[in-house]
Structure 1
Amino acid sequence: MAMQALAPWACDPAQTRGRRFAEVVAPTRSDHQRDRDRIVHSSAFRRLVYKTQVFLNHEGDLFRTRLTHSLEVAQLGRSIARPLGLNEDLVEAICLAHDLGHTPFGHAGQDMLNACMRPWGGFEHNLQSLRVVDQLEERYPEFDGLNLTFEAREGILKHCSQANAQKLEAQEPGGVAARFLQGGQPSLEAQLCNLADAIAYNAHDVDDGLRSGYLTWEQLLTVPLVARYHAQALAQHPQLAQAEYQRRLLYETIRRMLSDQVYDVIATTRQRIAAAGVDSVAAVRAHPDKLVAFSADMARESQALKQFLFRNLYRHAEVTQTMDHAQTVVQDLFSLYLARPQEMKPRHAAKAQAAASEAGRARAVADFVAGMTDRYAAHEHERLTGKRLLV
């Protein structure tokens, strides 16, 4: 089987730390190709198509969802991985799986479910993504979850509280949570996915924000990162100033912004790898700092765009009004299911009713709610309360 040429600091599938349950090696695919394939075929991955990124799924056919976002992150991740000699299959697997545990209704749903679960340890969507691939997917006769490799699971768990890290470490000593307790870094592939995620959502939220009418060109051109590429696009293609070409102008601006950010990460990361002198995955993990990064100037401009989107799009009055309703849906569903678990689907109800503690019951309810799509949550809320909060 022809394999990608990997740099010394890349995760070699032949040297994987393995799966929690041993399996026979596939004859035509590496372990990380199998990780990716299992993620794509999972139920949780398919549900991402009806989960909010910024705008609810029913608000427009062309707005990003968690699924299209994950695909864009994977594309950016592979574009950066190849010139750095990183494991493209592993990068793709992590990127495609990074939002599997996200709730319906985006960050608003996550924040509310965290508030509902606060008496029982809270809710973290990164930890929930790990729960999905380790426990909640039910596809195989020998084990729960997808039985992914350590390297994929490490990348999926990109953030973790100390309390949850301690629980995971007790269950899996020296496992995917160890770095949160002992210091150190994840693989370069995992670091890359974090940055590809940020690049993707900054760019596509500019697109969706302008398409929705919640952002205007006048506002966007106050952001240096957008203004620069907008000016470049017009300088090379003056006809884009005409009204009928506004969509093309937007796409050309975003294309240039994405390209420069990708090239900036590649150049900066090469410099940081050389300066650090790392020559193995172990050296990457032991290094005190992340090595996949923007240059200082690009990091500053990217952060400024992120802050602009937070103020002007994510906190736009129309968005927050919708998300207030969404949070009510999540809060009501959690409370209703906790009191009446039999209202959930049978296998989820059985898990909640069989739980040995209130905390276990609450976690089973949180698993069910977190797995919902936007429209299923809205329909369930209407069924149980008689109220239609989200059209």
Structure 2
Amino acid sequence: MGLPLEGVRVLAVEQYGAGPFGTQHLADLGAEVIKVENRHTGGDYARALGPYFVEGAKGDDNSLFFQSINRNKKSLTLDLGQSEAQQIFRQLVVGADAVANNLRGDVPEKLGLTYDALKSANAAIVCAHCSGYGREGPRREWPGYDYLMQAETGYFHLTGEPEAPPTRVGMSVVDFMAGTYMALGLVAGVLSARSTGQGRDIDVNLYDTALYNLSYLNTWALNSGYDPLRVPRSAHVSLVPCQLYRTSDGWIYVMCNKEKFWPELCEAVGRPDLARDPRFATYADRLDRRDELTVILDEALSARTSDAWLRELRGRVPVAPIRTPRAALQDSRLEAEEKIETLALDGSEEFRMLRSPIRAGGNDASRACPPMGHDTVEILQDAGYSAEDIAGFRERSLI
């Protein structure tokens, strides 16, 4: 069985985080993703981003950060700042399904990456854009980055303990979400284009993504005047109990997100009386007495270790240990279920990565992203250019 996006070709003018993360989803699902880089400006600057690199690899473009979001892609060098290179790109568009970019909002038009610029080459081309603030409006020329979006849309306000300073979420979640939305929009556009012959622009931006993913909190605020606030111990804003609790040697996270789990928890911790206590009968009652209930459950759960409670509660009440990322990667299930794979660079230097969480059957063995420009000649020849043409492109610094 093949992978679901086999036969889809995507030209990706991308760098750093959101765009590469999104197109890696496409590559993992079988699309031919061609990473377009400008050799004269160093290509995707994430190639040299430290502090960790593939051990034993030569050169400065084997960043583990870079490899983590660029597997299964090809690499083509092309200086799109030159008009002749843009004509070469248009020729590549003839045989492509989509163009993806994560450039500043005003740049795609300058480089000829919009549907209006490319439709004469391929009426079915889908042009997916992932910018900071969009391609229109007063901020289109602003550089935009994940942490800025978290700060401006409320993530810093929501994260951490109530008395702590504004706090960002631990990872670049806005980049990753925006890239994933771009990939989803691109696939939807290609699906439409294959049935209608009509391509389009697909637009995603980091700011809209960050705001949209606050989801029901925004709906509450828009309709009820709700003002989101931090809740102690990483608790849910309305479901109780659903937070961190102390054990004799640390913490666990308990999540009674359905009423049926509340009496199970009471029984497990040796306090069946709590399930019958009218003070804690419903979510609303427990929300009103969250602090009181925290003291009671802390006392009960502090009688045993975290591991003991995990054994007791698993399968009965939703519960999880509090781990570091490194400890999470040592879970034996990851190896047993083949969720970690080993990739090799051209020189056979190996490194390990987590597989995509989307398992779609087929041959999903991964390839490391090759050195910059590794596939340039093959791709240009496939587009109809001769060896003499390609030599001329090199002489004129187009590739």
Does TM, normalized by the shorter one, top 0.5?
no
Higher helix share: 1
Greater C-alpha radius of gyration: 2
Higher strand share: 2
**What's the TM-score, normalizing by structure 1?**
0.29
**What's the TM-score, normalizing by structure 2?**
0.28
